[in-house]
Structure 1
Amino acid sequence: MIKKEFVTERSVKTAEIESDLVVVGGGMAGVCCSLTAARAGIKVTLVQDRPVLGGNASSEVRLWILGATSSMGNNNRWAREGGVIDEILLENVYRNPEGNAVIFDTILLEKVSEESNITLLLNTAVYEVEKAGKKSIKRVIGFCSQNSTKYELAAPLFCDSSGDGIMAFQAGAPFRMGAEKKEEFDEGFAPDVEDYGELLGHSIYFYTKDAGKPVDFIAPSFALQNPEEFYKIRNFDINEHGCQLWWVEYGGRLDTVHQSEEIKWELWKVIYGIWDYVKNSGNYPDAQTLTLEWVGTIPGKRESRRFEGDYILTQKDIVEQSQHYDAVAFGGWSLDLHHADGIYSGEKGCNQWHSKGVYQIPYRCYYSRSIDNLFFSGRIISASHVAFGSSRVMATCAHGAQAVGMAAALATKHGIMPKEVGEKETIKLLQKELNKRGQSIPLVPLEDEENLINKAELSASDELNLTSLPKDGPWLDLNYSSAQMLPFKKNTGYKINFDVKASKSTTLEIELRTSSEQNNYTPDIMLEEREIHLEGGKQNIELEVSSILDREQYVFICLMKNEDVSIKTSEKRISGLLTVFNKPNKAVSNNGRQDPPDDIGVDSFEFWIPERRPGGKNFGFDINPGITSFNVSNVNNGYTRPTFKPNAWIAHWENKCANIAVKWKQPEKINTIILMFDTDFDHPLESTLRGHEERVMPFCIQNFKVFDNEENLLYEKEDNYQTISRIDFNKPIITDSLKIVVERPSKHTGAAVFELLCYGQE
């Protein structure tokens, strides 16, 4: 029994925690920052004001995670973000292919709880910042309502991943909120704020289910009355759920920090008003047995403050794909701005313009220019309002946050501040450490003098020389213009033949295209055009490619739309080979091409996009000379995904087992081996709502073994589904050779390895 007498006041329980890094905010940015830093060896305190992790991706909001792949709706091939966010998404699709947001919560909680270097504080809101001088944070103070405890959290380094920037704001860091004028950064897409507004609004999602019997709905008194006006904008589809209802948006004309509760109430009014209309207007007879299963209780917030670093990302960085010496992450979502009035605007829900490829994000966007020991990650990074329209999406936020986590580890190790990590010598170390963990920074290959593979001789049991893809798949109707992407060598001519079938005599137009940028996949350069007369029935066509490239690059063999023609496809799938189609993807404002107004500074071009599996089969074809881009030297070329070529060692699909042999001139002491596999970086792996037919990406090596020079088995892995397999030996292995034996994933896919790394004592 506890009995206390009256006193004039009492203090709540206080706990003091010291660490190397305090991360405020447990959304996807905060989680990936914390995991990266902790795995790099520093102590992290992760503070989250909600009961679960994930922020907008959590079961509280239920927005799926997307980034540069743009839900397979743009020309950014092999653009899924790498590193920790890739690991999380692959784990989720393996354990949770149905896209259950509650299961995704558990995956995030498991990842964080397994790291001994992370102290996790849930339900803890940071509300005060104490400074150590004008330009440094000493500690932050938070309160947990569930255990009535005040936490005083001290560290040399801090990262604000809180979405609204509560810590950076109180620390006095300079920030922006709202839209810049066109003139400030020469941004043609900058909005007319009087008409369009300055901020993106909030959304709340809801789910319905079929109860199997008629269900009545009596609306709450606060539900919006007469919501018929919404249906002039966009009819509600009763088959849509959750974040498919992103357009139920409001609040961009209000203060999206301090008026969030008002915005939430207005969205509740809208949602229950919509549902009242669906159930009781008589216009939705199919909704008779439907009931509301779940309505969000907190809004998904898109925009509030953006804090200034030493560089501000702008529209031109995205459209022109600017290169930065300190690139540490990338983006590729469209420039995506929403009318501030949201559902009340009377206009379409968003205004999206895509760039021709992914863009680099510099490290200078991730730390404060005025607070010496403050990083930031997530949607509050240093960007203009227009650039924020792209950089704000969760996979991009998480990817950049990994750079912050590693930067914090390096700053701790070397006793320096965030700005100093960005100096031109140190930044190379940061880029290397990130790429070793799968970051795949565009145009920044992994160059690591400590990788023992650099001084080894590599050989393989076989290397794919692709002279044909068997014509054993179904016929593909050319209802859309369709293209096979192939990596061509420079100064090389090719002959290619296909089998086609025509329903009647017709002319088939064929175009050979490539991209104006070597690492892009927008086929905006015409190499050759052909017209081929076809008779009715099956026939073989042969193309002789006379255009000789002056650089190695992907070429698009485009069979233009002709509904009277089909092409024979192949069941075989090869890492780095894709078919793409000039077709729309309405979810990302892709209507087959984009033609923006002349004055907004965005390019016009066509979209050639892939199909989700089981669609998207390669064409069946024969080619001479064969494509020889799959040799074993690729496992040490520094690229961990396709760029202007596949960048993978690939064995022939007929070989059930294949191997890479590594030979050194003298014995080496090996502590760590890292293998990077193909988990199809073109597939976006949405985290919730959208289900996935595959639990394991079909190119991924699932079973492999590692042997030494005496054929001793050093390591064996079965049922792998991750991109990166890291092998850490308890005792160093001393050997002058290794053999990595891999099983092909299936009879239709050859074994592929992107990168092989070996280290002594790291």
Structure 2
Amino acid sequence: MKKEVFSSTKRRFKREECLADLVIVGGGMAGTCCAITAARQGMQVVLVQDRPVLGGNASSEIRLWVLGATSHMGNNNRWAREGGVIDEILLENLYRNPEGNPLILDTILLEMVSNEPGIRLLLNTCMHDLQKSSPDTVEAALAFCSQNATEYLLKAPLFVDASGDGSLAFLAGAAFRIGAESADEFDEPFAPDDTYGELLGHSLYFYSKDTGKPVRFIAPSFANREISKLPRFKSFNLKDHGCRLWWVEYGGRKDTVHESESIKWELWRVIYGIWDHLKNSGEFPEMNNHTLEWVGTIPGKRESRRFEGDFMLSQKDLVQQRQFDDAVSFGGWALDLHPADGVYGDLPGCTQWHTKGVYQIPYRIMYSRNLKNLFLAGRIVSSSHVAFGSTRVMATGAHNAQAVAIAAVLCREKNLLPAELLEPSRMKELQNRLIRSGQYIPGLRLSDEGELVQLATLRPSSTYRLQGLPMDGPWKSLEFAAAQVLPLAEGKVPGIRVQVKASKATQLRVSLMGSKRKGNYTPELVLAENEFEIASGESFLTIDFQYYIKNSEYYFVTFSANENVQLRTSETRLTGVLTVFQKFNKAVASSSRQEPPEGIGIEAFDFWLPERRPEGRNLGFDLDQPLSLYDVLYLRNGIFRPIGQSNAWAASLDDPQPSVELKWDSEQKIREIKLYFDTDYDHALESTLMGHPERVVPFCVQRFSIWDKQGNRLIQVCDNHQSCFSLRFDAPLTTNYLKISLEHPSAATPAALFGILCY
């Protein structure tokens, strides 16, 4: 028993002091990925999260899917899914949770954080104050946990604000902005005026369930009974079942920090008003057996403060895909602004304009220009309101936060402050470490002098040569124009033969197209073109463009839209080879051609989109000369996804035991072996609600082994589903020989590998 007498002085809550290398405030996707990345590099991390679960807007509390540059596969950003820890999370979620249950995602995030001994996780803990050691240096953060009545004093040489509203940076006095800049400040023609509004609002979701018997609903008194009169209500779709209703948005005219609770109440009024109308208007008899299973208790917040770094990203940086010496990440979501009036306005729910390809994100936007030891992560990074329309999404924020984590590691190792990493040699080291960890930085490749595979002789058991793809798949109608995307090397374009089926005699135009900018996948240039007479019935079409390519790059063999014609597809799937169609995804576009208004600084172009699996087949075709797309030397070129070329070695499908041998002239001491697999970076892996047809990406090698010179198997893996694999040795392995043995993912998909690293 514990008994205390009256105290004439006030009592204090229990206080605990925590010392760490890095304190991260905010456990959304950005803060979580930052913490995991830093801890895996040996940092002692405190992760402070004011909610009971991790994930922020992706968690079961809000239930928004994680997405970034892939944009629901609705843009021209091929192979653009983010890498590193955020990729690992999404692939693990696919493996365990293809149905998209947000509760399962909660467990994955909690497990990954709890598995890192270097992370001290403080859930239900709100950072509410801080201490400074000087005007421009944060010394400690103070946080309070309501569940254990404990106050924490968190000390570290480095801090990361990933809190969404920028609570730590705000209290520390960092310069910030709320709202939209004028069009003149950064020369941003897309900057909104006051009629559109300067802030994006909050959204709230709900779930319903069919109980199999009639369910009555009596609306609470605060429900909006006039919901059906709202202009936005006419777009309501019963098939969306609540959690796709991102347009149930409100608050852009309010203070999105301090009025967040009142915004939530108004969204509750809207949600319960929607459900009242569905249940009681008599217009939706199919909802008679449905019950309201879940309504969000906190809204998904899009925008509040943005903090100033040593650079502020703006519209032209994205649209013109500008290059930066300090590039550490990338983005590719549309410039996506929402009208401030939200559900109570007459305007469409959003205005989205896409760039022609992905854009680099510089390191200078990821730390405060005022606080020497404060990093910025998530949606609060240094960008204009227009650029924020793209950088704000979760996968992009998480990818940026991984760069912050490795930067913090370098700062600790070298006793530096964040801005001091801009020195060119230090920045190069940061970029190399990021790429090595699975991060993708457009335009850069790994260039690591200490990497041992560069010194090895590589000998594959076989190499896949593309002579064509079997015409063994279903027929595909040319309802939309189609294109087979191929990486072609300098020289003559090979002749191509395809199988066609026409319902009547007709004409078909076939073109060879390319992109204006190297690395993009927006076909704008017609390089050669042929017109063919197609007879009724089945036949073969031979195409010879008589065109010579000067630059090795991806090209498009396009077939014009013709509803009377079908092309035969193939069941074979190949790394870095796909088919796209000239159409649009209504989730992120309204037409197959982006046609922005004049004067807003956005380019017009056509969308060419892949199809989601289980569709997404290549066309079947024969080539008059084989293509060497999968040279074994790609395994050490420092690029771990298809960019400009396949960048992969692939074995022949008839190779019963695919393998690569590595031989050195002298014995090497190896502490770590890293392998980089194909998990189809072109496929969006939305984390919740949407669902996916598979648990493992069909390109991914699931079974592989690593052997030494004596024939000892160093490791055998039978259930790989990740992009990156690392084998670390407690004591260095001394050898001049390694063998990597793989199994084909399927009879129609050859084993492929993007890279091997040894250290």
What's the TM-score, normalizing by structure 1?
0.99
The 3 A distance-change label for structure 1 pair 646 and 590 is: farther
C-alpha displacement of 1:545: 2.3
Which residue in the other structure is 1:367 paired with? 367
Contact (CA 8 Å) 1:233, 1:347: kept in 2 or not? no
In structure 1, give the amino acid aligned to 2:295: V
Which residue in the other structure is 2:567 paired with? 567
Whole-angstrom distance in 2 between the partners of 1:419 and 1:526: 45
SS across alignment from 1:207 = strand
Contact (CA 8 Å) 1:73, 1:590: kept in 2 or not? no
Whole-angstrom distance in 2 between the partners of 1:13 and 1:737: 58
Which residue in the other structure is 1:411 paired with? 411
C-alpha displacement of 1:517: 1.1
C-alpha displacement of 1:494: 1.3
SS across alignment from 2:544 = strand
Asked whether 1:82 is paired with 2:64, we answer no
Residue pairs, 1:561-640, within 5 angstroms: 561-640=561-640
1:44-102 Cα distance to aligned partner (Å, 9 max, x none)? 00000000000000000000000000010000000000000000111111011111100
C-alpha displacement of 1:232: 5.6
1:134-184 Cα distance to aligned partner (Å, 9 max, x none)? 000010101000000000000000000000000000000001110000000
1:581-616 Cα distance to aligned partner (Å, 9 max, x none)? 111210002411100011000000000000001111
Whole-angstrom distance in 1 between the partners of 2:513 and 2:590: 20
Contact (CA 8 Å) 1:47, 1:120: kept in 2 or not? yes
SS across alignment from 1:571 = coil
Which residue in the other structure is 2:462 paired with? 462
Whole-angstrom distance in 2 between the partners of 1:173 and 1:232: 38
Whole-angstrom distance in 2 between the partners of 1:76 and 1:487: 15
1:314-361 Cα distance to aligned partner (Å, 9 max, x none)? 111110000000100000000000000000111110000000000000
Contact (CA 8 Å) 2:580, 2:611: kept in 1 or not? yes
C-alpha displacement of 1:705: 1.1
1:610-654 Cα distance to aligned partner (Å, 9 max, x none)? 000111110110113211020100010010000011100011222
In structure 1, give the amino acid aligned to 2:375: F
In structure 2, give the amino acid aligned to 1:652: S
What's the TM-score, normalizing by structure 2?
0.99
Which residue in the other structure is 2:61 paired with? 60
1:200-226 Cα distance to aligned partner (Å, 9 max, x none)? 000000011111111111100000121
The 3 A distance-change label for structure 1 pair 333 and 376 is: same
Contact (CA 8 Å) 2:207, 2:243: kept in 1 or not? no
In structure 1, give the amino acid aligned to 2:324: H
C-alpha displacement of 1:656: 3.5
In structure 2, give the amino acid aligned to 1:408: A
Which residue in the other structure is 1:156 paired with? 157
SS across alignment from 2:396 = helix
Which residue in the other structure is 1:725 paired with? 725
Gaps of 5+ in 1: none
Contact (CA 8 Å) 1:233, 1:348: kept in 2 or not? no
Which residue in the other structure is 1:669 paired with? 669
SS across alignment from 2:622 = strand
1:249-304 Cα distance to aligned partner (Å, 9 max, x none)? 00000000000001000000000011111111111121111111100000000000
SS across alignment from 2:664 = strand
The 3 A distance-change label for structure 1 pair 444 and 735 is: same
Whole-angstrom distance in 2 between the partners of 1:212 and 1:238: 17
Asked whether 1:544 is paired with 2:576, we answer no
Residue pairs, 1:210-249, within 5 angstroms: 210-230=210-230, 233-249=233-249
Contact (CA 8 Å) 2:641, 2:678: kept in 1 or not? yes
Which residue in the other structure is 1:261 paired with? 261
Which residue in the other structure is 1:177 paired with? 178
Which residue in the other structure is 1:21 paired with? 22
Contact (CA 8 Å) 2:231, 2:345: kept in 1 or not? no
1:430-457 Cα distance to aligned partner (Å, 9 max, x none)? 1000100100111110111111001111
Which residue in the other structure is 2:35 paired with? 34
The 3 A distance-change label for structure 1 pair 661 and 232 is: closer
C-alpha displacement of 1:242: 4.5
Whole-angstrom distance in 1 between the partners of 2:558 and 2:599: 31
Whole-angstrom distance in 1 between the partners of 2:273 and 2:684: 33
Contact (CA 8 Å) 1:707, 1:714: kept in 2 or not? yes
In structure 2, give the amino acid aligned to 1:196: Y
Which residue in the other structure is 1:714 paired with? 714
Which residue in the other structure is 1:756 paired with? 756
In structure 2, give the amino acid aligned to 1:168: A
SS across alignment from 1:572 = coil
1:537-571 Cα distance to aligned partner (Å, 9 max, x none)? 11111111222221101111111111110001110
Whole-angstrom distance in 2 between the partners of 1:112 and 1:700: 25
SS across alignment from 1:29 = helix
C-alpha displacement of 1:531: 1.2
In structure 2, give the amino acid aligned to 1:627: L
Contact (CA 8 Å) 1:497, 1:621: kept in 2 or not? yes
In structure 1, give the amino acid aligned to 2:450: E
C-alpha displacement of 1:235: 3.1
Which residue in the other structure is 1:290 paired with? 290
Whole-angstrom distance in 2 between the partners of 1:345 and 1:653: 57
Which residue in the other structure is 2:358 paired with? 358
Whole-angstrom distance in 2 between the partners of 1:227 and 1:74: 33
Whole-angstrom distance in 2 between the partners of 1:29 and 1:493: 44
C-alpha displacement of 1:233: 5.0
Residue pairs, 1:503-514, within 5 angstroms: 503-514=503-514
Contact (CA 8 Å) 1:495, 1:543: kept in 2 or not? yes
SS across alignment from 1:195 = coil
Whole-angstrom distance in 1 between the partners of 2:589 and 2:605: 13
Contact (CA 8 Å) 2:529, 2:545: kept in 1 or not? no
C-alpha displacement of 1:731: 2.5
In structure 1, give the amino acid aligned to 2:57: N
Whole-angstrom distance in 2 between the partners of 1:716 and 1:550: 43
Whole-angstrom distance in 2 between the partners of 1:202 and 1:52: 20
Contact (CA 8 Å) 1:590, 1:607: kept in 2 or not? no
Which residue in the other structure is 1:689 paired with? 689
Does 703-712 or 76-85 show the bigger shift? 703-712
Contact (CA 8 Å) 2:231, 2:346: kept in 1 or not? no
Does 499-508 or 651-660 show the bigger shift? 651-660
Whole-angstrom distance in 1 between the partners of 2:323 and 2:445: 14
The 3 A distance-change label for structure 1 pair 77 and 393 is: same
Task: Kindly tell me the number of residue pairs found equivalent between the two proteins.
Answer: 758
Contact (CA 8 Å) 2:477, 2:565: kept in 1 or not? yes
Does 545-554 or 128-137 show the bigger shift? 545-554
Contact (CA 8 Å) 1:63, 1:242: kept in 2 or not? no
1:373-396 Cα distance to aligned partner (Å, 9 max, x none)? 000100000000000000000000
1:450-505 Cα distance to aligned partner (Å, 9 max, x none)? 11001111121111110110111111111111111011111233111101010111
Contact (CA 8 Å) 2:232, 2:343: kept in 1 or not? no
The 3 A distance-change label for structure 1 pair 231 and 179 is: closer
Which residue in the other structure is 1:394 paired with? 394
In structure 1, give the amino acid aligned to 2:642: P
In structure 2, give the amino acid aligned to 1:691: G
Whole-angstrom distance in 2 between the partners of 1:145 and 1:642: 48
Aligned-residue sequence identity (percent) comes to 55
Whole-angstrom distance in 2 between the partners of 1:39 and 1:493: 46
In structure 1, give the amino acid aligned to 2:74: G
Which residue in the other structure is 2:74 paired with? 73
In structure 1, give the amino acid aligned to 2:4: K
C-alpha displacement of 1:231: 5.3
Which residue in the other structure is 1:126 paired with? 127
Whole-angstrom distance in 2 between the partners of 1:102 and 1:657: 40
